[in-house]
Amino acid sequence: MNDLVRQHTALSDADLEWLHLLVSEWQLLSDLSFADLVLWVPTLDGTRYVSVAQMRPNTGPTSYQDDMVGHLVPRGRRPLLDAALDEGRIVREGDPEWREEVPVRVESIPVRREGRVLGVIARNTNLLTVRTPSRLELTYLQSASDLAQMIAAGTFPFPGEQVDMDSSPRAGDGLVRLDAEGIVQYASPNALSAYHRLGLAADLVGQHLGQITAELAPSRGPVDEALVTLASGYAPREFEVEGNGGVIQLRAIPLKPKGTRIGSLVLLRDVTELRRRERELITKDATIREIHHRVKNNLQTVAALLRLQARRMDSEGGREALNEAVRRVGSIAIVHETLSQNLDERVEFDEIADRVIAMVAEISPGRVTCRRNGRFGILDAEVATPLSMVLTEILQNALEHAFAPGDEGAVEVTAVRGEPRPDARLLITVQDDGRGLPEGFDPQRAGNLGLQIVRTLVEGELGGSFDMLPGVERGTKVVLDIPVQPQK
């Protein structure tokens, strides 16, 4: 719609925003009218109309099999559009049109904003299935007529009220028509069923909807008065009411076809099961986060016990082995701590990598600095947990074997998300400027426990590749190429 309006018309951005607001609401008008809607806007030179939006009803057969958006029609070909645009009134005169042997009644509704007519809505009703209307259909049509008059007067849609039509109640979900005092004149069967879910035993017709709704909802003191006002439809609002184990979502639309409020339209939907499932998911998310939190605490307890044991060891080799185990446990604990703060099983790994680098850097035998370049990005927990251990082992190996006590140096971790899709692969390089690999060293066969852990996790669990190479000038370069998605 933006492209068509800017290409063919002289409407301002504020006018275009008003049309967007109208289009976000007009599914209701289409359903209440049992009719297709097409929005026509005059072109810049005033000689033609361009159709910028279209809506089909959920409550009846369509009048247009084809998409009308983008069509251009010269002035004079559709007199009803001309009359509505020039005179600023709803035009219903004329005989039905025949389209592919289907009679269609056409009406034109001017779209007004701040006293100016921006365009015209063509309302097209398929008359092939017309029959004697029921009370429900008569209420729909009367409500549609009131909304059409409000559009023509520029009082609908309501400025500042952006409605999410995906979650907002629709006419078919449940409809209540109120008079100016808030008394129910008509309630659809679905609306009555929703109120029965709240605990209503009687009929709604003749009842004051605001008072009945406040009685069915749990007592909330002064809030009850506000609830009475909301459910009486005095202002355009969307809200929820819960009672007797049921939850209904309501949307109030004041009806002012001639500038004075004559009543209200209340759309409502039973969302009890939806809210129950949402609460179950919230509870499940909280449980998962609590599990991660407890796992992190347990791992930290294990690490603390290993540290105590290491202090009591007489053997230097045994003490160092226990300290390595502490760091391995700590890297896993960092991942679980991050997961305990998230709503899903995905983590921002850059923070984890920085904490792992800081933790391992504590064992540096000399003045060696560690830094990270690039971004790991967001990773699934199935990738983050083994990758944190791999990173710990590689950094630990570099600091222990690449530098002698007192040496100065640097270890650089570089992460690059793969091409062509950044969610496909992750390339990690760990480069040090230490003394390099020993003569004849084969990283694929080395018996070092740390390298065995790296090979097992990278190739087995992550489905990636691992290699250690001599640096360009000096030192060692470790290259990891892993898929971002976990192995199934």
- From the list 466, 439, 440, the residue with the least C-alpha distance to 453 is 466
Amino acid identity for residue 396 in this structure: Q
Q: Which residue has the higher pLDDT, 382 or 487?
A: 382
Give residue 488's pLDDT band: very low, low, confident or very high (50, 70, 90).
Answer: very low
User: Which pLDDT does position 220 carry in this prediction?
Assistant: 54
Give residue 454's pLDDT band: very low, low, confident or very high (50, 70, 90).
Answer: confident
User: Which pLDDT does position 321 carry in this prediction?
Assistant: 85
Q: How far is CA 69 from the centre of its chain?
A: 27
Residue matched to tokens 């409407």: 11
What are the pLDDT digits (tens) for 156-211?
A: 999 876 666 668 899 999 999 999 999 999 999 999 999 999 999 999 999 999 99
What are the pLDDT digits (tens) for 387-418?
A: 988 898 888 888 888 887 777 888 899 999 86
Residues 19, 119 contacting (CB under 8 angstroms)? yes
Q: Is 73 helix (H, G, I), strand (E, B) or coil?
A: strand
Q: How far apart are CA 103 and CA 96, in angstroms?
A: 6
Give residue 365's pLDDT band: very low, low, confident or very high (50, 70, 90).
Answer: low
User: Which pLDDT does position 314 carry in this prediction?
Assistant: 85
Give residue 58's pLDDT band: very low, low, confident or very high (50, 70, 90).
Answer: very high
Least confident residue range of 9-13, 137-141, 213-217, 403-407: 403-407
Give residue 150's pLDDT band: very low, low, confident or very high (50, 70, 90).
Answer: very high
The helix (run of H) or strand (run of E) holding residue 347 is strand 346-348
Residue range 56-77: average pLDDT?
92
* pLDDT score of 344 more than 90: no
User: Which pLDDT does position 280 carry in this prediction?
Assistant: 85
Give the start-end residues of each E strand in 195-311: 237-243, 246-255, 263-270
- The whole-model pTM stands at 0.66
Q: How far apart are CA 268 and CA 28, in angstroms?
A: 13
Give residue 486's pLDDT band: very low, low, confident or very high (50, 70, 90).
Answer: very low
Residues 428, 482 contacting (CB under 8 angstroms)? yes
Q: Which two tokens stand for residue 362?
A: 């504590």
Write the DSSP symbol of residue 257: T
- From the list 353, 307, 298, the residue with the least C-alpha distance to 326 is 307
What are the pLDDT digits (tens) for 118-149?
A: 999 999 999 887 777 899 999 999 999 999 99
**β-bridge pairing 367-374 and 408-417:** parallel
Cβ-proximal residues to 344 (8 Å cutoff; 6+ apart), any chain? none
Q: Which two tokens stand for residue 327?
A: 């760091």
Give residue 250's pLDDT band: very low, low, confident or very high (50, 70, 90).
Answer: very high
Q: Mean pLDDT across the chain, nearest whole number? A: 87
**β-bridge pairing 36-42 and 175-179:** unpaired
What are the pLDDT digits (tens) for 93-127?
A: 778 888 878 889 999 999 999 999 999 999 999 98
Cβ-proximal residues to 395 (8 Å cutoff; 6+ apart), any chain? 356, 357, 360, 361, 370, 411, 413, 430
User: Which pLDDT does position 363 carry in this prediction?
Assistant: 67
Q: Which two tokens stand for residue 272?
A: 């009890």
